[in-house]
Each structure stands twice: as C-alpha cells, then as structure tokens.
Structure 1
C-alpha cells in the first residue's frame, strides 16, 4: 500500500514537471501518449523549423513575390528576414525632401542592391540637394534607372558627380528639375549605356539666346528612346537627337519653336525610327514629308498639329508602308480628311490601330480602310461630325478583324449600334460615350445578342450614370517611368505627394482637352504598347 502511494506521488511529480516543460516550450505540438507500468506518460516532440533551414536565395524569391506592404511587415519578423529583404530589393521609391540626407547612409547600407530608384519631392517642399544625390550615387554604383521629380535643389555639379559614379545608367527620367545643359551633358558623356531619356520641364535651359547645345556625347550611340515634354528651348537637344543613330522612338510634346527644319535634319540622319509622337508642336507638312524618310516607321501620333494637312499624311502613307498604329487629333481644323485617310488605306495594309479625333472621315474613306486594312483590330472615332449610322454600319460589315471599337461624340443612333450585332465577328469590346441618340435599351439588346461582347455606354446624361460609368472609362496616365512600385517610407519623412488628388488630375485632364480615345486605348493596350509590337 505504501509502495503504491509512493509510486503515485512520483508519477504526479513527473506529470507536473512535464506540464511545466510544455508551458515553457517554444513550439506547441501534439502530445503523444505512452504506456509505462499502467501509467500514462506524455512526451513532447519538437516540430522542425523549415523556414530557418530555407536558403537565403529561396527566401529572397518569396519576398520578391510579395506586395510592398507585405515585404515591409515581413522584414520586421527577425534580423535575418530584415537583412535578406533589404538585400533582395532592387526597386525603391523615396520621398526626396531635404531631410532625407541623414538617412542616406543607413538606408542604402540596408538596400545595397537597388538598381532602380525614384526620388520624388512634392512642389511645396524643399528637395534634396547635391550632397544627398552624390551620397546615394556612391552607394548605388550599379544603378540602371533613375527618376527625378521636382528635385529643384539639384545643380549641374551634383548631376556631374552622380554621372561619374553611376556609369551603368540605362534610363533617366527627370521632370521639373532646375539643373541645366552642363548637368545633362555630364550624363550623356559618362553614361555610355543610356538607352532611354525622358526630360520634362527642365528649368535650367530656358535661355534661348545663349542656350548650350546638349549632346551628342557617348550615350548617343546607345540611345533608343528620347522623350521631350514642355520645354521652352527643347531644340537645344537637336545635336543629341541627330547624333543618336540607333534611335527608335522620338516623342515631342508641347515644345515651343518651329520644328520643321530640325525634323528635316533628324530624318535625314536618323532613318531607323519606328515610332514618332508629335503633340501640340509647331510642325507642318514640311516636317511630315521629312519624317516619311523613315521607311521603317510603324507608329505615328499627330496630336493637335493644325498645320499638318492631307498632303503630309499622303507622303507618310506612300513611303511608310509598315505603319501599324496611327493616331490623329485634327483639333477640328478640318485639314486632314478623306484624301489622307484613303492614302493610308491604299498603302498601309498592315494597319492595326487607328484613332481619329476631331477628324471628319466619310463612308468613302472608312469603307476603303475597312476593305484594304484587313488587320485593323482597334478603331476609335471621336468628335467626328460625319460619322453616323451609315458609317458604323459600313464598319460592321467590312471590318472583319476589328476587336475593339470606341465611339465618342458622334451622331450615331441605335440603328448604327444595332448593326454591330451581326457584324465584326471578332469584336470583344465597344465603348460609346456622349452619343445621346444611343439608348441603354439598345446597349442591353446588343449584350443579349452577343453574350461575349463587353458594351460600355455613357450617354452623357448624368441621371443615367452610375459609379462605374461616371468617367466613361477614362484613365489618365501621367507618368512615363512606372517601374518603381515599392515605396519605402522614412521615419521622419511624410509620404510622397504631388499636391493634387487623382480625381483633380483626371478632371484637369478633361478640361485641357485630353483625348478620351487615347486614354481608352492606353488602358486596352498597356500590355502591347512597345514600339516593336
């Protein structure tokens, strides 16, 4: 009897010790019962820590598949995760206010593998200066992409020092900065691998009388894309453009001055261009005739260039027979019409995308386009007084390959839209905006007859609009550098802001006459908008 009591006491103490061990254990695991002399004993089995055994490279791949917020949260789990997350981050976007300088060393000691960097400052704040940019360049010598926004404290000296440290740069985008020609030339002289240059509102080159020429530099041999926006003296980039023998894409937006003579020299020296954008530019048929020397031209945008007429477009069509995408905003000038479009239909048989805004094509040119351009997949007709039911019926009957159709502010009624029910066998999407004679009943009927067809109708009447159609599908895309998605905030720096809300930007874009069709096609074609297709 006494032996039994003693055994029970020992077993009780053993169970108590086991319970204490379980409460202190790091892992909670199932308890495995074991039979020992008719008493139940519990033994803990420690679960293996698979994550700790995972190689750093595998863990880095996991981090790279996470969103920016999830990466930040995961980096706080332990020191190892913090280290690996920092070493595996290649893209970084920072609020480039002046108080960034004290954090540069610690930030880029952690993010020492960054190759794509965006430095953005809002217009109400003081931006980083040369000291911070040089410090960044010392720690990011493998940088391949740099985006500068409103960094108004940067000077030519800072850009020159940056260029000497980051010679592997391939893409530079700068907007609303104040450095000038010397700083830009330093980039071109040192960054021999530069392929993409985008400059918007560069304040340091506004003196037209004594402006220093920019380029060509060592980068001219590798440059493939040049984009100039809102430059008072953008023609000082002429030596760079002319010297870029391998240039494929040239985009000129709202740059003052007469560009005809410069385009003549450019087109004579750089004949391999495949994409040209001209928007709100002082250019005439003389410039278009010059561009027609680029026999490999595939994409042409003529937006609000009222001096361009059918003569220039005919010259382009006759010589640039590889044309795939043509965007024309005639600005209601009525100088481009059937003659130019019939030339396009006659010679540009590979045409896949056609956007006409403020142009008045008739059934004659549309029928010829539909008959000859058998690869036409995307068509937009906006603000055209001559595009009615007859023209839409013609498109429905002739455009066999058409997949996406956009109609805005045209005298089209239900009768014209109904023709799409039996036409365009490959049509997958139709957008109709501000065509008051088209009713929602007709749109519903079209959906019923063609179940796979997406119909987006905005008649322009507020009482019939819903939240999904209130903007007509318009999406403004204001930036040209979108490859820095991961935002890493600093402890004492407020989140980056441009000072304007998205809704305000979209409204402002509409007030300034931004093209509904261009925005619509930008959304449709975001996946295949490269110059080579």
Structure 2
C-alpha cells in the first residue's frame, strides 16, 4: 500500500491540471528565468515549456541545431549572430543553414550578424526552406552577394525586414528582385553597400510601396533622384531614413521628404555637405509634429537660422547633432524658452562648433530642462574651467562631454540616431 502524498492527502497537481491549463500558467510568467524554471519541475512541464518556446539564441553546429529543432518545435525566432570581437572559428557555416532550412520550417525571424563563414550557397537554401520568413539579418556577412539573397527574396515573399549592412558585394540587382517579390518589405538596412545606386533605390520604390525604415548610409552613389523617388512612393509610411555620408544627397532630397513624408521621425544626413538652411526649414515646418531625431553633423552650410527653426517648431525633438557645423553660434540657442512649448530635447551634440561660447551653453541649460547628454568636445571657447568660472550649473542628470576624440561615440547618445 503506497504512502499518502504529503500535505494531507490532497490531489497531485499533475493529476488535476491539463496541458492547456499548464500552458496558461506558463504564459503568465514574466522573466525568461521564470519560464526556464517552469521546465525544471518535471519532464511533463519541460515538454510543455519546450513546445511553447518561441525564441532561441544558440551557437552553431548541425547536430546541436537538429536537437534544438526537435526539442523546441514552436520556435519562430532564431539568433545565431556572432560577436565580431569574440567569434568562434569557423562559427556558423553553410551546413548550419542547411539544417535551419530543413528543421525550422516555421521560422519568422533569423539573425546571422557577423557570420563570416556563410556563403551564397547556404543562404540560397534559406530561400528554399523558409517560406514564412519575415525578418533576416545578415549584416557584415562579407561573403554574401546578390546570388544568395536573390534566392531568399524569391522564396521568402513575406519578408518585411532585411538587414544587409556591410555586405559590399550587394548591387542594384538585389533591389530589383526585392521590388518584384517582397512587396511587403518595410525595413531595409543596407548601410555600406556602396555599389547600390539611384537606379536600385528607384527600382525598390517601384514595387515596395510601404518602406518605413531605410538605412543607406555610406552608399555614396545614391543621390537626390533615388531619395526623392522613395520619399514620394513611401510617403506617410516612411518614419526613418539614414543617409550618413551620402555626399550626393542635397536640398532636393530634403524638400521631397518635407513634401511627402509628414510622419518622419528620424533623419540622418551627417556628412551631406550640400544641404542648406532653406530645405531644413521646410522640413522643420512640415514635420513639426513628428520629427524626433536629426543628425546633421558636417553639414557645413547649416547656420543658426535652420537650427532655431527646428528647436522652435519641432515639439517632439529629443536628439539633434550639429557637430562640426562651424557656422552655429550662441544665437541659435537664445530665447529658447519662448518657443511656446516645453522642449523634450534630451541629447544635443554641438562638438567642434568653434564659434560657440559659454553664454550659448548657458542658454542651452536654461532652455532644455530635459537634457541628459551635452557634447561640447573641441569647442575651443567652452571648457570645464570656463563653465565653472562663469557659474554655469549643469543639471545632475545631464552628462556633459568636454573631452575625447570625435571618433569616439557615446552609446547613451548614439542610440537616438
């Protein structure tokens, strides 16, 4: 005769709760650690926890991937990205992608950043095996070219997000295929793909009419024709466009964004030296209720006029970078409190604005009460000592960067751009 269960002979929980009820309990657990602890109770709970797991981050290896696919059949998101400074040779290879294509058929999101061991052969298999894929990140997978990613575009027509940053072998040919096959594409990250031209961006616009996020920074063959085309077609869908160091981009692009993209939140035009005050003023007025982050360092034609217009009209602006714009003076920040609304500005980068003085910094502190980060590096008239002598009191919550190389970035500020 078996001994009665501890606790007064009550029913065992596994005899009372069904699998569906245990799944309901699992869904109510918050942190990942709690959900993992759920699976430690017994084999039944582990099986249920495994079947409900939707995200996995793992290292490479075909055998391991097969075991993971068998244990976690419901996985929708798989991250095999490698740390560029701590990669394990050879890391992810084409054999791994073959297993993923055959064993994770329901995958929606796949991240393969910095997987330098994969090639077009492996990536093409993803196109054959993952018809439900919606997001693919192969940033800095340097062996990839149009050939492998065209197979993905043709086989994964539900693709909404594609990041190919640093894949320098990519050309306009991929964008042409995307425009014909991936009509739901919303997010394209192609920074550093410097073989892309206006023709490719225009082709993309022909078929992909709902682009929300576009990063073609350092694509120095792209200029006004491509940007104007994508602005007109994407129109109110476009919320972020990054054009860092696209030297051919000028005022025509900004006027087009102002005319069509009234929901624009993030604009990066650093290094676009042909952009002037007039187009920035038009943008400030057109996107006054949407613009949140604007990076325009090294836009050497920018003056106090356009900066004042931005600060006095854009109610939601939280971050702005005018570093190395040497025509900016204290005047840009005078009477900032008279804008008619409480500024939300949290990040202001004015490094190497050589005409700026302590008086201008004092105006900044008075005008922008929410400021969390102020970059005044390489401003010869603004130093820690000069600010202290003038009695400038920086808020305790505001980090002020006086020193350091302009090549060094601060994560607390860069996340806004």
d(CA) in 1 for partners of 2:361, 2:82: 48
Q: Which aligned pairs between 1:364-513 and structure 2 lie closer than 5 A?
A: 364-371=305-312, 373-383=313-323, 384-398=325-339, 400-408=341-349, 409=351, 410=353, 412-419=356-363, 423=367, 427-435=369-377, 436-437=382-383, 439=387, 445=393, 447=395, 455-460=397-402
Q: Determine which structure has greater relative contact order: mean sequence separation of CA pairs < 8 Å that are 6+ residues apart, divided by chain length.
A: 1
2:416 counterpart SS class: helix
Encode CA deviations 1:353-387: one digit per residue, 9 max, x unaligned: 1323233532211233344x453332313413333
Q: Does 1:271 align with 2:215?
A: no
Shift of 1:195: 2.4
Change (3 A) 1:257 1:517: farther
Q: Which aligned pairs between 1:30-429 and structure 2 lie closer than 5 A?
A: 46=8, 48=10, 53=16, 55-63=18-26, 65=29, 67-72=31-36, 75-96=39-60, 98=61, 101=63, 104-105=66-67, 107-120=68-81, 125-126=88-89, 150-152=91-93, 154-155=94-95, 159=97, 162-163=100-101, 166-175=104-113, 176-205=115-144, 214-215=150-151, 216-220=153-157, 222-235=158-171, 236-243=173-180, 244-282=182-220, 283-294=222-233, 295-296=235-236, 297-318=238-259, 320-331=260-271, 334-356=273-295, 357-360=297-300, 361-371=302-312, 373-383=313-323, 384-398=325-339, 400-408=341-349, 409=351, 410=353, 412-419=356-363, 423=367, 427-429=369-371
Change (3 A) 1:316 1:92: closer
d(CA) in 2 for partners of 1:306, 1:104: 47
d(CA) in 2 for partners of 1:50, 1:440: 70
User: Given the two structures, how large is their TM-score scaled by the length of structure 1?
Assistant: 0.62
d(CA) in 2 for partners of 1:275, 1:183: 27
Change (3 A) 1:258 1:56: closer
Shift of 1:254: 0.8
d(CA) in 2 for partners of 1:400, 1:442: 28
User: Given the two structures, how large is their TM-score scaled by the length of structure 2?
Assistant: 0.76
Structure having the larger proportion of residues in strand: 1
Specify every segment of 5 or more residues in structure 2 that has no aligned partner in the other structure, as ranges: none
d(CA) in 2 for partners of 1:248, 1:117: 20
Aligned length: 392
Encode CA deviations 1:63-109: one digit per residue, 9 max, x unaligned: 5525444555554444444444334433222222x4x726844x555
Shift of 1:255: 1.1
Encode CA deviations 1:168-213: one digit per residue, 9 max, x unaligned: 332233232544445444433554433223222334445x8xx577
Shift of 1:121: 5.8
d(CA) in 2 for partners of 1:102, 1:182: 21
Encode CA deviations 1:386-410: one digit per residue, 9 max, x unaligned: 3343212244432725312322324
- 1:519 corresponding residue in structure 2: 414
Change (3 A) 1:390 1:228: same
d(CA) in 2 for partners of 1:161, 1:255: 28
Specify every segment of 5 or more residues in structure 1 that has no aligned partner in the other structure, as ranges: 1-23, 28-44, 128-149, 448-453, 463-509, 523-533
Shift of 1:422: 5.7
Shift of 1:229: 1.1
C-alpha contact 1:376 1:399 (8 A) present in aligned 2? no
Change (3 A) 1:521 1:262: same
C-alpha contact 1:381 1:407 (8 A) present in aligned 2? yes
